[in-house]
Amino acid sequence: MPFGNTHNKFKMNYSAEQEFPDLSQHNNHMAKVLTLDMYAQLRDKETPSGFTLDDIIQTGVDNPGHPFIMTVGCVAGDEETYDVFKDLMDPVIEDRHGGYKPSDKHKTDLNAENLEGGDDLDPNYVLSSRVRTGRSIRGFCLPPHCSRGERRAIEQLSIEALDSLEGDLKGKYYALKNMTEEEQQQLIDDHFLFDKPVSPLLLASGMARDWPDARGIWHNDNKTFLVWVNEEDHLRVISMQKGGNMREVFTRFCTGLTKIEDLFKNRGHEFMWNEHLGYVLTCPSNLGTGLRAGVHVKLPNVSKHEKFGEILKRLRLQKRGTGGVDTAAVGGVFDISNADRLGFSEVELVQMVVDGVNLLVNMEKRLEAGEAINDLMPEQK
């Protein structure tokens, strides 16, 4: 539904060629995969809720991409998008998720006990630890496609579930459109508040429609567990704290998520999940675990090493600035997180981060002391 051409029935009066987008300047996963033939095959299909191929690809058509960064260039409007349009989505997923095949199965593991160590990342270097993921409520359209009524229902269901959380997870919901000036300032100071998206990648998909209606932030009183409602996904769930105890962060993450899932189930709702794609989210890049586990870590020396990029690659990690994606590192402090989302379980990904960050900190200490790090070079994971 996002834009007026979605159900433009005059579309079918024109040939596929006449409608096919000009992707000659484009560099995103969708543009690499979408041929004229594929467009012709898929153009008159719709998901049961009415999401079309043109809806899926609009963001990729409008945002040609960047020569260095490969964006995805397509979004899902509902769970069925990944099935009805699998001829497009499967190759995009395969390309984005390191060769993940249509026949592959994804393993979900939210048992934090299975994590080894992770409670003692050196706090002299690791300033904070954070794990995030997303969840979608089955039976509702996703942010690019949902109506106001659906979005409000999602908000309502989420509030009811979250209000039932107890103990250290007990908290409060702040609707974006009702919050007071003081609440808003506090949320900004806590670095919890999310803004209306400005990225054209998101705007072009229609997910910012009706802002700030039915959007909000829930967090526990301890400020260590946070849920965003109706931003880029139905729910984004974040566990975080200062320091290097990633194990505690991940344990709270798993406990919280499992509790929330149970609360939804008690009310007759479940999360979108299947054994091929794991958890289903708006952007294909977030399928599987949807998990990004990361730390803010001081690596002024390692980051200047000529092999820094190679080390990260082998550890299956990625770096970002401390403002998150698309920001620069400040003062040698980097955001280091897992590069993968799909094809590895939650425990496996967090383990990679824990082991990888431990290694990077050791390398940092060596370089600080003027010693070499060649013997520490990791194998490709």
Partner 1 sequence: MKEGKMASSFTRILSSKRNVGILSLVGGSVAAGFLLHREHVTAGEPLRRRYPASAEYPDLRKHNNCMASSLTPAIYAKLCDKATPNGYTLDQAIQTGVDNPGHPFIKTVGLVAGDEESYEVFAELLDPVIKERHNGYDPRTMKHPTDLNASKIQSGVFDERYVLSSRVRTGRSIRGLSLPPACTRAERREVERVVVDALSGLKEDLTGKYYSLTLMTEQEQQQLIDDHFLFDKPVSPLLTCAGMARDWPDGRGIWHNNEKTFLIWINEEDHTRVISMEKGGNMKRVFERFCRGLKEVERLIQERGWEFMWNERLGYILTCPSNLGTGLRAGVHVKLPRLSKDPRFSKILDNLRLQKRGTGGVDTAAVGGVFDISNLDRLGQSEVQLVQTVIDGVNYLIECEKRLEKGQDIKVPAPIKQFK
Q: Give whichever of 54 and 364 is closer to partner 1, judged by the CB atom.
A: 54
Q: Spell out, one character per residue from 241 to 260, where the chain touches partner 1: x when CB under 8 A holds, - when not.
A: --------------------
Burial 105-123 (b: 16+ CB within 10 A, else e): ebeebbebeebeebeebbe
77 is in an annotated binding site: no
| CA-based max dimension of the chain | 71
| Total Cβ atoms within 10 A of residue 263 | 18
The verdict on 339 binding partner 1 (CB under 8 A) reads no
Measured CA to CA, the distance from residue 48 to residue 30 in angstroms comes to 22
The verdict on 140 binding partner 1 (CB under 8 A) reads yes
Q: How far is the CB of 140 from partner 1 (least distance, A)?
A: 7
Q: How far is the CB of 112 from partner 1 (least distance, A)?
A: 35
Per-residue 3-state assignment (H helix, E strand, C coil) for 268-319? CCCECEECCCEECCCCHHHCECCCEEEEEEECCCHHHCCCHHHHHHHHCEEE
The verdict on 58 binding partner 1 (CB under 8 A) reads yes
Tokens of 335: 């955001």
The verdict on 268 binding partner 1 (CB under 8 A) reads no
From the list 327, 181, 160, 292, the residue with the least C-alpha distance to 229 is 160
Identify the residue among 61, 281, 283, 333 touching partner 1 (CB under 8 A).
61
215 is in an annotated binding site: no
236 is in an annotated binding site: yes
Q: Are strands 273-274 and 126-135 parallel, antiparallel or unpaired?
A: unpaired
Q: Where are the alpha helices (DSSP H) in 142-244?
A: 148-163, 181-189, 200-203
Identify the residue among 108, 114, 147, 318 touching partner 1 (CB under 8 A).
147
130 is in an annotated binding site: yes
Q: Please name the residues in contact with 79: beta carbons below 8 A apart, sequence gap of 6 or more.
A: 136, 138, 142, 272, 280
Identify the residue among 67, 149, 167, 370 touching partner 1 (CB under 8 A).
149
The verdict on 137 binding partner 1 (CB under 8 A) reads no
The verdict on 14 binding partner 1 (CB under 8 A) reads yes
Q: How far is the CB of 75 from partner 1 (least distance, A)?
A: 14
Q: Give whichever of 6 and 224 is closer to partner 1, judged by the CB atom.
A: 6
> Which span sits near partner 1 by CB under 8 A: 18-26, 119-127, 270-278, 370-378?
18-26
- Amino acid identity of 83? D
Identify the residue among 7, 66, 191, 267 touching partner 1 (CB under 8 A).
7
Q: Give whichever of 137 and 317 is closer to partner 1, judged by the CB atom.
A: 137
> Which span sits near partner 1 by CB under 8 A: 28-36, 50-58, 98-106, 163-171?
50-58
How many chain residues bind partner 1 (CB under 8 A)? Answer: 45
Measured CA to CA, the distance from residue 154 to residue 246 in angstroms comes to 30
Residue with tokens 């012709």: 40
Q: Are strands 235-242 and 225-229 parallel, antiparallel or unpaired?
A: antiparallel
26 is in an annotated binding site: no
Identify the residue among 38, 40, 127, 203 touching partner 1 (CB under 8 A).
203
Measured CA to CA, the distance from residue 102 to residue 254 in angstroms comes to 27
The verdict on 213 binding partner 1 (CB under 8 A) reads yes
Q: Would you tell me which residues interact with partner 1 (CB under 8 A)?
A: 1-15, 18-22, 46, 48-50, 54, 58, 61-62, 139-141, 147-150, 152-153, 177, 203-204, 208-211, 213
Residues in the annotated binding site: 128-132, 191, 236, 292-296, 320-325
